[in-house]
A and B are shown apart, each in its own frame.
Chain A
Amino acid sequence: MYRLLADRLARLLASVGSIGHFLSDTFRGLSEPSVWVGLTVAQMRRIGVNSIPISLLISSFTGIVLALQASYTLSGVVPLYFVGVLVGKSLMLELAPVLTGLALAGRVGANIAAEIGTMRVTEQVDALETLAFDKFSYLVVPRVIAASIMFPIVVALSIIVGIVAGWITSINLLDLSTIEFFKGLRQFYQLKDTWYPLVKSVSFGLIIASIGCMKGLSVAGGAEGVGRGTTEAVVDAFWAVVLL
């Protein structure tokens, strides 16, 4: 019993230690901007721009469902322009960042872990190091910075598209005018509704890319190891998004 507890505690401490090492090595990797700046731009396209279609698809359906659901729930209870309130607030504060975060945890987290994991088992990471590159400057820093910059942009676009989808649904399928919809949208708007999802999505980008890189770099054992590392990256990133 005590031995089991001691083993688990030792594993937990080892995990905390490896996370600490990873973070300190990543900060150290920042000291070589000549290596990571150019690579960051390329990663911004891969991580951010290529993620836009799936994010917009999710947010547009979310906007449509929210508008319809709000009208069913609010009809006869409060004025219908509250559909705009519900669509706007829900998308901005929770649904757009969280749903986008979950989608990108799968897409970006898996992509990063599989790519770096494959490089690890084919000795490409070792090859980078023998060519005098720091693997954190070359592989980790560009991905973490790119995700931290691009996630808020993707989330902002998701919010806009979700609201537009909710508005189009409202004026076409519900008995609501454009003026009423936007009256609701403005009614309870606060500045926090803008910065809160953006800050949240920065933290999602940071954590999802970090988990992907960490799992990728710790891959061992060939194709099976890459598969295991990728799965762990996605599961851990999902948990992180839910908990954050």
Chain B
Amino acid sequence: MISFRDIKKSFGDKDVLQGFTLDVQDGETMVILGYSGTGKSVALKHIVGLLDPDEGEVEVDGRVVHTLDRKGLRELRSRIGYVFQFAALFDSMSVEENIALGLRRQGLGETEIRGRIRESLTLVDMDGSEERFPAELSGGMRKRIGIARAIALRPKYILYDEPTTGLDPVTTAVIDELMVRTRERLGVTSVVVTHDLKSAYRVGDRIAMLYHGVVRQVDTVERIQRTHDPIVRQFIDGRPEAAGESERMTGDFAL
């Protein structure tokens, strides 16, 4: 289980997270939804210790992330797969080497590594791409390899940072289907950060709406779709003004 407890995080004079609290249950896919630049990715990075909170704490399986020592952090990260917004593939390495890097770190033998690479590439429909380099791949292919790199580790958790941003609708649907398939086949707990509503509805069990650094509403997909909260409604309907309020959604924080 992943728990965010009253996380506050600022960058200079910009307060990004201002008391972010959220629980992600084992086995579910939690979508963190919100306007661009509201701190969704910042929240995600706290789970793997890429960022430490100014206040509050993130617990993963009962252990507070920012208090872990090097060994503890390494052990935590080996249980989490992270899919980056632009895949973050190592451009000096082939697809095979990209996937193998994390597996070698886990101390697996070469036969096991070969098997895991084949298996994960099959799962993302990228068989035969082992020898290709990231520069030779399209944006959608890169994201699929990013997912393959994460699932090859057989993690307990997978974190997706804007997995469909910048993709055409068909490729977006393919990536969404891939995330659902990954959860069904591997039974992983997922946290998906996105501002793409269609994608959120397709992959999520629950949706948390992040607004001005706090969770405005968290509920199942069906309930979120029927919400009467003016801010969440405004986001869902894609209107410039919230119904009955002069408040306007803004996103000033980008990381």
Contact = CB atoms under 8 A, between A and B. Distances in A.
B84 interface: yes
A124 interface: yes
Contacts of A130: 48, 50, 77, 80-82
Contact of B88 (A28, A123, A134): A123
Interface string A97-138: 000000000000000000000000011101111111110000
A131 B78 CA distance: 7
A28 B73 CA distance: 15
Contacts of A122: 86, 88, 91
Contacts of B185: none
Contacts, number: 49
A124 B91 contact: yes
Contact count band on A: 10 to 19
Nearest to A119: B90
B14 interface: no
**B contacts with A: majority SS:** loop
Contact count band on B: 20 to 34
B88 A133 contact: no
A104 to B, nearest CB: 21
A124 B70 contact: no
Top 9 closest pairs, chain A to chain B, by CB: A131-B102, A123-B88, A127-B88, A130-B82, A132-B77, A132-B74, A123-B84, A132-B78, A132-B105
17 contacts: A28-B70, A123-B85, A124-B88, A124-B89, A124-B91, A126-B50, A126-B88, A127-B84, A128-B90, A129-B49, A130-B48, A130-B80, A130-B81, A132-B74, A132-B78, A132-B106, A134-B70
